[in-house]
Structures are given as C-alpha cells and as structure tokens.
Structure 1
Amino acid sequence: MTETKKKFKLGLIPKLLIAIILGILVGSYFPPVITQIAVTISANFGKFLNFIIPLMIIAFVTKGIADLSEGAGKLLLVTVLIAYLSTLIAGTLSYTMARTIFPSFLEPQMVEQIQTATDKNLAAFFEIPLNPIIDVTAALVLAFLLGLCVSILRQKGSGDGFYKLINEFNEIINMVLEKAIIPLLPLFIFGNFTNMAYSGSVFAILQIFLKIFVCIIALHILYISAMFIVACAYTGKNPFKSIKEALPAYLTAIGTQSSAATIPVNVECNKKMGVSKQIREFVIPLCATVHLPGSMITLTACVYTLLEMYQMPHNYALIIKFIAILGIAMVAAPGAPGGAVMSALPFLPVVGIASDSPLASILITLYITQDSFGTAANVTGDNAVSIMVEKIYYKYIVKRPIPKEEM
C-alpha cells in the first residue's frame, strides 16, 4: 500500500498574521491605487458579510434554542444575566483604572492632533448596494421567538416540520461560512489594515495615546484571563488550555473588528474547549450580540479621557448610569466595525457630551483605533461565558450529565 502524503495546509492563525503584515507593508510602501483596490475588495466583502450576519444569528440561535428539549427560557435568562453582569463589571473596572492612572499623562493639546490623524483614509472605488434583509437586533428577537416556540412545540410532540426547516437552514448557512466567509476573511483583514497603514491614523494616534492604549489593552487581557480562571475553576477545566484554544478567535476579531463576523471561528474554538454542541451553538452567537466587556472597557476609558481632558464631571455615579444603559444599547452593535461607539452616541448626553459635538467625533476616532482589541476581548470572553453556562444548564436546569456524544 502506498502512503498518501498529507498536503501542507496553512492554518487560520498564520493566514491572519500574514494578512495583517502584508496589509501594513502594502499600505505603507505601495502606490495609493493598490491600497484603494484592496479597500474596494474589502468593502464589498464587508457588504456580503453584513448581509450574512443576521442570517447567521437566526440560523445558529434559533437552532440552539430549538434543540433544547427543556429549560430553553431558563438557559436564555442565565446567559443574558451573566453577559450583562460581566459587561457592568468590565465598565466599572475600566472607570477605576482610568480614574487612578489617566490623569497623570493626559494633555489638552492632544485633541487637535487626534482630529487631523484620520483625514487620509481612502474610500472604495465602488460598493455593491447590498443591505441585510433584517438588522441584527431584529434577527436576534426573531431567533428568540422562533427557537423558544419550536422548543415548546417539540416538548408537546409537534413542530417537527418547522424544526427540520431550521435544521436545513442552519446547514445552508454553515456551508456559506465554510466555503466563502472563512476562506475570504484574511482578504477582508488585509484590506482593513492596508487602509489603516496608508492613512497613518493608527500609528499617529498610537504615538499620542500609547500609554492609554496600553492600559486599556492590558485591562482587556487581565479581564478575560480572570473570566477564564473563574469559569474554569467552577467547571474543572484547564484555563490555560482554554485560553490557548481561544487565540484564533482573538486574532480573527482583531482583523474583522466585528463580534458577529467572528462567530464561526469562535464556535470552532469553543468546540475545541469541549463545550457541548447545543450550548456552544446557542451561547456563542447570543453572546456575540449581548456580551461586550471589551467594548465597554474601551468606551468607558475613552469617555473618561475626554471628560478629564475637558475638566467635566466624571464621578462614578454618573459613569455607572452610562455603563448600565450602554450595556443594553450595544446589543445592536456587533454587526459592523465601530458599532459599539455608534450605539453609544445617543447616550453621551448622560455624561454631558452632546452626541453631535466635536467631543463625540474625537470619541469615535479614539474608539475606532482600539476597536479591534475591544472586539477581540468580547469574543474571547464569550468562550468563558459558554463554559460557565454549560455547567449551570446541565447541573441546575436539566439536572443531567453533559452529553459526551455532542462534543
């Protein structure tokens, strides 16, 4: 018998790293027209991605809830409560860090430099007019309704026809993800980094706000590490192994700047951690829209930075109201890069910043520059939530062992 040689296959992480490095090189040293071509490809792929995201949420979340033969409503409640509590804790920690550290190195003259740093971004040559058939929030609500109703019908001995339809729709979306979305993600990331490198905005702002960025990113890492330590201590898993398995999702999110766009990669990471199929396919897509601690850390720190620079009130009683409202408002944010800061704009008056003021535009600039890392923290933390929810669901809600055959 002749042994068949295994074909060398480049993994997702190397592809993402190569895309980031090439993007920086092309944006920095190649003619602008090359950057604009890359931006055009990336922008149109982004259109297709945004079209698929609501369908992905409907497919995954509906099937995830429908597959729960019992306790679906309780599982939904537990997951949302843990996600919201995590977001509030993250915002509080960010405020504590900012209040303790930031005043020592903030300077008012930074404002003008930030405003001029992002003027050179290139637009795509053209964009296909492709819009989602339903927005992210509506998709999530529809998925909840369909999933819960089908789960209840199945417990009563009916609903099999609709359940089969949900199953087949889930398979179709999985096929699109496997054959189109995931293979093209490095190209999408390449275009994003090419544009950022060409404009010089990332590097300019990083030079000015390096200390702030380091503090925020350090808190992201410390917070998600603490989440894994707590979740794994509760469930008996190895936190270091779990964090290692989450790295592909972290790197993917840095490039896509979208929690929702990272769902397929994150589901696969969660599978490698040993989380059961029905839990990971329910919790990961749901948490992509309701669990945003990284974004909350970034937004809270950026808002505090502006309030401190302009000597405006920034006590905790004021900030916690903003955090509590934003934790709910950001549910609509994960579909697009920078979505969290756009969701925050209507609520800036809570802390005394007009949503159409120059301060708001500075906040957008500050946030967008760090959005990749906040999103990466979001999706990585989703895995810790999933690990914890699985234990609670099987131990306290359905009261049976985790089904090993579903791993």
Structure 2
Amino acid sequence: MKEKLKAYRFPIILLSSIIIGSVIGLIFGEEATVIKPLGDIFINLLFMIVVPLVFFTISSAIASMNSMKRLGKIMGSMMTVFIVTAIISSVFMLVATVIFQPGSGVDIPLTTPEEVEEVSLGDQLVNTFTVPDFVDLFSKSNMLALIIFSVLVGVATGLTGEQGRPFARFLTSASEVFMKIIQLIMYYAPIGLGAYFASLIGEFGTALIGDYAKAIIIYYPVAVLYFAIGFTLYAFIAGGKEGVTRFWKNILSPAATSLGTGSSVASLPVNLQAAKRIGVPKDIRETVLPLGATIHMDGSCLSAMLKIAFVFGVFNMDFSGIDTFLTAIVVCLLSGIVMSGVPGGGFIGELMIVTLYGLPIEALPIISAIGVVVDPPATMVNATGDTVSSMLVTRQVEGKDWMKTTEVN
C-alpha cells in the first residue's frame, strides 16, 4: 500500500494543489488573480524549455536510430494511430451531438469580429510547415517547422555515418540535459498550477454561461468518458492489463499539467517523462510525442464536431445525413491537424470550419466562445492521447510482448 501511495505521491500533490487553488479562487473571487504571476512563471518556464527540448529530443532520437527503416516504420505506425484515433473521437462526439442536439433553439446575437486576414490554402500550408528565416525556428509559434527541421537534422546526422557520430552524441547529451531541467521545473509545478487555477476560478468561476450551457454540458462528460473509456481501451490494446495499469499509474501528471496550462506543447516535457516511466522506447516516445503535440488532437476533434453541430443549430441548418456527417468528420481531422499546440491555437481550426462550410464570418465568434470554455478538457484529451498513442505505436513496432522487454523507469 505504501509503495502504491509513493508512486502516486506527486500526482496527488499536483491534484491537491489544483483543488486548493480552485477553492481559493471561489472564496476570494477576482482578488485571487493577485497570485496569477506565480502560475504564469510556471507556464513561462515550460514554454521557455519547449523549443530546445523538441529540437534535441527529435533530432537525437532519429540520429540514434540504427536504421532509417525503423524511422519509417515508426512514422507509418504513428500516422495510422493518429488518424484512426482522431476519427474515433470525432464519431464519439458526433453520436452525442445527434442525440442531444446542441444549438437547437439557441438565440445568439451575431457580432462581427475584428477584421480577419484571409489566407489562401497554399499560403497556409507554406506558413504552417516552413519559415522564411532560420531564426524564426526558435519560436513556439512555428512548432511544425521546427519539427521538420529537427527530423532533417536527425536524418542527416544518421546518414553522415562515422563523421556524424560526435554530433549524434552531442544531440543525445543535450536531450538528457534538457530533460533534467524539466525535472527541476516540475518541483515548482504544485505552486504554479495551484496559483493558476486560483486566478482562473476567481475570474471566471461565477460567470454565467447562458446560451452555451447545453453545449458545454455535452462536451465535458463526453470528453471525460472518451478519456476514461477510450484511452483505457487503447492502453489495453497496446499492452493488455499491464498496459492499462502503467497508463493510469503515470497519466495523472500530464493530465493535470495540460488541464492547467491549456497547451499540449507546454505539457510535452511531463508527457515525455510519463511515457518513459510507462516503458515506451526512447526513439518512439521522442518521435511520437513532439509530433503528437502539434498534429494529433483528439480533444480538438471532439470540440470541432461540437462546434459544427452547434453552429448548424444556430443557423437552422440541417445537421443530418451520411454526407453531412462524413464531411464533418473530415473537417474535424483538418481542423485538428492545423491547430497549434499553444493556448488559443484553435482559432485557426475555427476559421477553417467557417470557411469550409461557407458560413458567414459572424459565425466565428459564436464557435470561438465555445472553444474558450471547452479548451481545458480538450487540451487534456489532446495531450494524454499522445501518451497512449505512443503505447499503440510501440505495440505495432515492437510487437505484442513489448512490455515484457522494455525497461520501466
């Protein structure tokens, strides 16, 4: 019993700090925002470390691979897992929206948002995957471009052979150093997350949700059910009963961090630690998790489906039929892929929903308001979905007995 409590000690401390912070927010209201800087420090520390961490973990993992064949197998398995789980999450929310019909009977005044710069699909792809200058890579706003650069560095290092080995050792060493920095930062997590939740609850805890109540009441239980049932099933597929045990033993810290920060990218360092403890091999976890933080978002697919169904109800459009449902699932996948792993990144996905359905621009603030409220649980599902996906990829790459041969940390 003592050993079990010891294993869960840090997650329990983390959850306790969040609960205490929430209580402080409820008691003191907006006055609790005075301690928000303590939370901002924690989030800034995580964001500060993300760019070098992503670069060194991905490039070192790829450079250390014995063959490019293994990299291809990992990437192929990863994309299969990402797409399949994203479709499942979209269908999961689709069923809920068909049953409960969010937005039906809702009367929301249309307000025109600030001017939005129109970007063609071609320009959007260029801006998403590349940057015009090397220095632009050193920004969390350009995570996909940084990931592509990291992959290229890793591949080039591996292909260089003997002459590239000193550089490969440097990449591996740097990766370990930055992981150690994360461990140091996490000592501050209880204070940071507690303060952040106190300010959030203090500022928004008593706000009336109004017309959005039904949509939010649908989203939260569905997200929790998908997290509990879906991820348990994925973990079982990946590693049987032992997979489920390891997943739930290590997932609370990433879940709490993502819930508090509202960012898959900020949760990446904690996620990497969790995957390591679960036993996911280094090259798999350091390839799948950073990529997953930007292009694998089950929670965002859940929210995208809710936004589509909601806005259809608001504009009295018919949300029924196989064609409509299939289109909605595709839109969810696209909006999930283009969303960045930073707070507020869902705006691009929301803009895509409005554009692809030819909705008036006034629809943007309607679905954006939903995005703001459902962001915490959506991010939690996004981030923790990457962890269980790394387990599924390991199952495909290493075989069904991978848990018996991998070291648990």
Give the structure-2-normalised TM-score.
Answer: 0.79
Do the aligned partners of 2:235 and 2:244 also contact (CA within 8 Å) in 1? Answer: no
Corresponding residue number in structure 1 for 2:75: 76
Provide the rounded CA distance (Å) in 2 between the counterparts of 1:307 and 1:202.
28
Do the aligned partners of 1:60 and 1:281 also contact (CA within 8 Å) in 2? Answer: yes
Partner SS for 2:193: helix
Amino acid across the alignment from 1:291: H
* Deviation at residue 193 of structure 1 after TM alignment: 2.2
Verify: 1:323 aligned to 2:332, yes or no. yes
Amino acid across the alignment from 1:150: T
Provide the rounded CA distance (Å) in 1 between the counterparts of 2:198 and 2:73.
45
1:42 to 39, 42, 55: 39
Partner SS for 1:179: helix
The answer for unaligned runs of 5 or more in structure 2 is 1-5, 113-135
Do the aligned partners of 1:150 and 1:162 also contact (CA within 8 Å) in 2? Answer: yes
Corresponding residue number in structure 2 for 1:283: 288
Provide the rounded CA distance (Å) in 2 between the counterparts of 1:43 and 1:132.
23
| Correspondence list, 1:186-205, <5 A | 186-200=190-204, 204-205=208-209
Give the structure-1-normalised TM-score.
Answer: 0.79
Provide the rounded CA distance (Å) in 2 between the counterparts of 1:247 and 1:76.
27
Give the paired residue count: 371
Do the aligned partners of 2:104 and 2:314 also contact (CA within 8 Å) in 1? Answer: yes
| Correspondence list, 1:134-145, <5 A | 134=139, 135-145=142-152
**Against the structure 1 CA distance between its residues 378 and 165, is the aligned structure 2 distance closer, same or farther, given a 3 Å change threshold?**
same
Residue identity (%): 21
* Deviation at residue 184 of structure 1 after TM alignment: 2.8
Do the aligned partners of 1:276 and 1:406 also contact (CA within 8 Å) in 2? Answer: no
Partner SS for 1:160: helix
* Deviation at residue 141 of structure 1 after TM alignment: 1.1
**Against the structure 1 CA distance between its residues 106 and 202, is the aligned structure 2 distance closer, same or farther, given a 3 Å change threshold?**
farther
Partner SS for 1:69: coil
Q: Deviations over 1:220-269 (max 9, x none)?
A: 34434334424523543435414422222222211111112112222232
2:64 to 62, 67, 70: 67
* Deviation at residue 395 of structure 1 after TM alignment: 3.9
Corresponding residue number in structure 1 for 2:133: none
Provide the rounded CA distance (Å) in 1 between the counterparts of 2:197 and 2:9.
20
Do the aligned partners of 1:58 and 1:143 also contact (CA within 8 Å) in 2? Answer: yes
* Deviation at residue 346 of structure 1 after TM alignment: 4.2
* Deviation at residue 352 of structure 1 after TM alignment: 2.9
Q: Deviations over 1:365-390 (max 9, x none)?
A: 21121111111112222222111211
* Deviation at residue 166 of structure 1 after TM alignment: 0.6
2:257 to 248, 252, 256: 252
Q: Root-mean-square deviation (CA), in Å?
A: 3.3
Amino acid across the alignment from 2:329: I
Amino acid across the alignment from 2:53: M
Q: Deviations over 1:249-293 (max 9, x none)?
A: 222211111112112222232233332333223322222222111
| Correspondence list, 1:384-403, <5 A | 384-395=388-399, 403=405
* Deviation at residue 204 of structure 1 after TM alignment: 2.4
Q: Deviations over 1:160-189 (max 9, x none)?
A: 121022112212311321112x22333443
Q: Deviations over 1:308-336 (max 9, x none)?
A: 12213542244234223223312xx11x2
Amino acid across the alignment from 2:76: L
* Deviation at residue 145 of structure 1 after TM alignment: 1.1
**Against the structure 1 CA distance between its residues 31 and 228, is the aligned structure 2 distance closer, same or farther, given a 3 Å change threshold?**
closer
Do the aligned partners of 1:196 and 1:202 also contact (CA within 8 Å) in 2? Answer: no
The answer for unaligned runs of 5 or more in structure 1 is 1-7, 116-130
Do the aligned partners of 1:23 and 1:190 also contact (CA within 8 Å) in 2? Answer: yes
Bigger mean CA offset, 80-89 vs 185-194: 185-194
